[in-house]
A = this chain, B = another copy of it.
């Protein structure tokens, strides 16, 4: 079963890389430096967790994988833009990402700023230009666009980053930390699952169950991230380790301690599986991804 999952993951990652490459403007057309920076920020690295979740959700409801490819690209472009802007000197001021210099180090701050901006635009463009025959209805495509915008905006991911900024050096409660993460990383993970499902024939009950699953899986992802940041090295992570603690950012580990953070991860993993078990659909891939998120070492 593990081998089968690894093969599936490799297959999806390959098709997503192809789709990302296809949707990104070629570096040969003007403005070339901007297009190079956009490609640098997206291609050649990343676990593609959100695209994997979109495809796993899409498979559960019989979606056309070509539609899910587009949706996965849209979500990944939003994710990539947020990393580029998050790494800028006025934000986290980070120099290393996915084992390589961050976008503004490789290019320059202004180019990185514009590359992030243009990647966000591209996310919405890909969804708006999704071929009509791949998705159940025109209305569904508008729902998907609205969903992505809600997830990315000031009451979603960008809002979570603002809360994160405001939290530096503060003593948050665990509830406040959870509120931050539900926005900062959770909203987009939830969007990945729901957009994948929207490509198929998911009914309202299925979408609600998947949303509940995605909330748990998203938080699990973050708790594991905090554990890895505390335990890992810069080499295995491909980004600067121990950074959150150094910047006095509250994390699950700093607030709960390592042992209780691991207990929390275990119970979130169980809750995610329980949410999937409530579904009639074949959620094998989503379950396997949940275990992968829980057990990952990087």
Across-interface contacts of A149 in B (CB, < 8 A)? 121-122, 124-125, 128
Q: Find A113's partner among B88, B121, B124, B129 (CB 8 Å cutoff).
A: B88
A111-124 vs B: 1/0 string, CB under 8 Å?
10110111011101
Contact with B along A132-171 (1 / 0, CB 8 A): 1000001101100110011011110011011101100000
Contact B113 A125 (CB under 8 A): no
- Residues of the B chain whose Cβ atoms lie less than 8 Å from the Cβ of A113: 85, 88, 90-91, 113
- Give A56-88 interface residues, CB cut-off 8 Å to B: 81, 85, 88
Most chain B CB within a 10 A radius of its CB, from A30, A81, A88, A91: A30
Asked if A154 contacts B35 (CB within 8 A), the reply is: yes
B122 touches A166 (CB 8 A): no
Q: Is A31 an interface residue (CB 8 A)?
A: yes
Cβ contact of A145, chosen from B35, B88, B124, B161, cutoff 8 A:
B124
Task: Name the one of B85, B122, B127 contacting A153, with C-beta atoms under 8 angstroms.
Answer: B122
Q: Using CB atoms, name the residue of chain B closest to A151.
A: B121
Task: Check A53 for interface membership: any CB of B closer than 8 A.
Answer: no
A15 within 8 A of B: no
The chain B residue sitting closest to A153, CB to CB, is B121
Q: Which residues of B lie under 8 Å from residue A14 when comparing CB positions?
A: none
Interface residues on A, range: 35 or more
State the copy count for this chain: 2
Complex contacts, A117 vs chain B, CB 8 Å: 81, 85, 116-117, 120, 158
Q: Give every chain B residue within 8 A of A153 (Cβ-Cβ).
A: 118, 121-122, 125
Chain A residues touching B, majority SS: helix
Known: A90-B109, A161-B114. A128 touches B154 (CB 8 A): no
Q: Interface code A31-66, partner B: CB below 8 Å = 1, 0 otherwise?
A: 101110010000000000000000000000000000
Q: A25 within 8 Å of B by Cβ? A: yes
CB pair A159 B118 closer than 8 Å = yes
Report B-chain residues with C-beta under 8 Å of the C-beta of A152. 121
A208 close to B (CB within 8 Å): no
A7 at the interface (CB under 8 A from B): no
User: Beyond A122-B149, A125-B146, A132-B139: 9 further Cβ-contacts under 8 Å?
Assistant: A25-B155, A31-B162, A31-B163, A90-B108, A118-B154, A121-B152, A124-B145, A125-B150, A138-B142
27 contacts between A and B (CB under 8 A): A31-B154, A33-B166, A34-B154, A34-B158, A34-B162, A85-B114, A90-B110, A91-B110, A111-B165, A114-B154, A114-B161, A117-B120, A118-B154, A120-B120, A120-B121, A121-B154, A122-B153, A125-B149, A128-B145, A128-B149, A129-B146, A132-B139, A138-B138, A138-B139, A138-B142, A142-B142, A145-B145
